[in-house]
Structure 1
Amino acid sequence: MRQHFSFPCAGDTCAATLDGADGTTGLLIVSGGNEIRSGAHAGMAALAAAVAAAGHPVVRYDRRGVGDSSGENAGFESSADDITAAVQAMRARLPSLTRLVAFGNCDAASALALYGPAAGIDALILANMWTLETEADEGDAATTMTAGAIRSRYLAKLKDPRELWRLASGGVDLGKLMRGLRQATAKTEATGLAARLGQALADMPLPTRLLVAEHDRTAMWFLEHWDSETFTAARANTHITMARLDSGSHSFASAGDKTWLRERILEALD
């Protein structure tokens, strides 16, 4: 049964939805970006219904300043109070819960990595983590290939006889080629938000499942950082595991992607 309720958060009121079930392990869905709690094309509402049908209660909520919640939208990096208040509200509403797992996609995953351990959460599911610092970086993520993608592109060209002929016959812009090679061999340096996330994952005390749609641009940037020196300690953290999906859908939009996401979430809940 789906119920709507609200809870206080730092002087404001957050709107929330509960999909009820009898299980003692529950799922808290944290919305990414400025999405309302139903998600893109009601994707999170459908996910909540499916997880509840499998026996796990699910709570979704609107961050302050988003959707039906009051207050100012200060972005995901200011959402520590929202996450903590949502956890407290879920536990109060479902006193039989013995375990609370939180799921977030994109910057919601990043917020959970930063603030989840202190919020009273027992385990995390983090999908397509956002690692870029500013809105300008967001534009770069949409238009610039990662170094790994550039390397893959050039390797494919080197295997193509037609491309080798173009190079030998002068049909390739050498200046553009050199710029591409410099990008392909550049090391990814984690600074700002990425560095903070690297440290948060290195120190992560909770069982954490990273989910990656491998061809999504945001996920590709995350993987660049994940493979960098800054994330060495995070990669060594035995609390963290990763599952990869051969997809470019940031929101797991296709029927197959939705099924994969639901199965990974149920694995973490069972």
Structure 2
Amino acid sequence: MRRPLNFACENAVLAATLDEAAGSTGLLIVSGGNEIRSGAHRGMAMLAQRSAAAGHPVFRFDRRGIGDSDGDNGGYRSSGPDIAAALAAFREAAPQLTRVVAFGNCDAASALLLHQPLAVDGLILANPWTYEDDCGDEGEAEEPALPPASAIRSRYLTRLKDPKSLLRLVKGEIDLKKLARGLSAMRKKPAAPAFGSLAGELDATLAEMFCPVTILLATGDRTAQAFMEKLAPSLAHIEANAGSIRIERLASPSHSFAGKDGEWLAERILAALG
């Protein structure tokens, strides 16, 4: 059963939705960008319905200044009080909870890291935002026109393995200067995130996390590509050393895991809920 409710956050009243279930592990969904709690194309509402059907209560909310909630929209960097108040309201509305796992996509994923410590028992972070500007409306990223260097290198590697591209090279149909720049970029080793940058903040927080963290990346999405580029050394260490942080990748360009990618997302979230 789904029911609406309200809760207080500082001087504002926030709107929320609880998908009820009997389980003791709940899912808190934090919306990204200026997306309302139903999500892009109602994706978060459908995810909540599926998770509740599997026995997990789900709490979604509109942060201050978004959707049906009062107050001013200060963006993801000021959403710490909203998330903390939502967690308290969730536990009050579903008193059987012994564990709460929080999920966020785009800058909501970044917010869940930036505002630590939070009273959660696990995090699920999808396509975390690492650009210095805010994520756009409906959780969709407003990235620079050019893809990250890692994406450019991947494209060049794919082309070099393609016989048709090699034939074009032999025929002189490929710009050798552009090819040389691409090959030069492939040789550069990823650097650590810049000190004081958003990526640096996320990297430092991940290094100190003690609760389980699942990172979900759509490898064709530029936001995910930027995250993989900027945190490459740390992600390589995480994948080489089994610990409390897990990384899972999906070959998809969908920032919000739309369409059939939603099934992959739901399966990973249910696995993290246990």
Q: Does the 8 Å contact 1:6/1:16 carry over to 2?
A: yes
Give the AA of the match of 1:211: L
Distance 1:8 1:148, change over 3 A: same
Give 1:1-270 correspondences, 5 Å limit.
1-115=1-115, 117-134=116-133, 139=142, 141-164=143-166, 166-167=168-169, 170-189=172-191, 190-191=193-194, 192-228=197-233, 238-255=243-260, 257-270=261-274
Cα offset, 1:163, TM superposition: 3.6
Alpha-carbon distance between aligned partners in 2 of 1:88 and 1:135, rounded to the nearest angstrom: 26
Q: Does the 8 Å contact 2:65/2:71 carry over to 1?
A: yes
Distance 1:125 1:174, change over 3 A: same
Instruction: Supply the RMSD in Å over aligned alpha carbons.
Output: 2.2
Cα offset, 1:160, TM superposition: 4.0
Q: Does the 8 Å contact 1:101/1:125 carry over to 2?
A: yes
Moved more, 185-194 or 208-217: 185-194
Q: Does the 8 Å contact 1:22/1:57 carry over to 2?
A: yes
Cα offset, 1:94, TM superposition: 1.4
Cα offset, 1:134, TM superposition: 2.0
1:108-146: per-residue Cα shift (whole Å, max 9, x none)? 01111122x42211111111111111259x65x352122
Q: Does the 8 Å contact 1:25/1:97 carry over to 2?
A: yes
Give the AA of the match of 1:33: G
Q: Does the 8 Å contact 1:25/1:100 carry over to 2?
A: yes
Q: Does the 8 Å contact 1:202/1:234 carry over to 2?
A: no
Give the AA of the match of 1:121: V
Distance 1:177 1:56, change over 3 A: same
Cα offset, 1:265, TM superposition: 1.0
Alpha-carbon distance between aligned partners in 2 of 1:13 and 1:234, rounded to the nearest angstrom: 40
Report the structure, 1 or 2, having the larger helix content: 1
Q: TM-score, normalised by structure 2?
A: 0.88
Moved more, 1-10 or 164-173: 164-173
Cα offset, 1:172, TM superposition: 3.3
1:195-246: per-residue Cα shift (whole Å, max 9, x none)? 0000010111211111111111111111112313x66776668221111112
Alignment size in residue pairs: 265
Structure 2, gaps ≥5 residues long: 136-140
Structure 1, gaps ≥5 residues long: none
Q: Does the 8 Å contact 2:228/2:235 carry over to 1?
A: no
Moved more, 258-267 or 27-36: 258-267
Q: Does the 8 Å contact 1:202/1:231 carry over to 2?
A: no
Give the AA of the match of 1:17: T
Alpha-carbon distance between aligned partners in 2 of 1:6 and 1:237, rounded to the nearest angstrom: 40
Q: Does the 8 Å contact 2:218/2:254 carry over to 1?
A: yes
Q: Secondary structure at the match of 2:97?
A: coil
Q: Does the 8 Å contact 1:65/1:72 carry over to 2?
A: yes
Cα offset, 1:161, TM superposition: 4.8
1:65-85: per-residue Cα shift (whole Å, max 9, x none)? 100011111110111111101
Q: TM-score, normalised by structure 1?
A: 0.89
1:168-214: per-residue Cα shift (whole Å, max 9, x none)? 55433344334434444445442310000000101112111111111
Alpha-carbon distance between aligned partners in 2 of 1:128 and 1:32, rounded to the nearest angstrom: 11
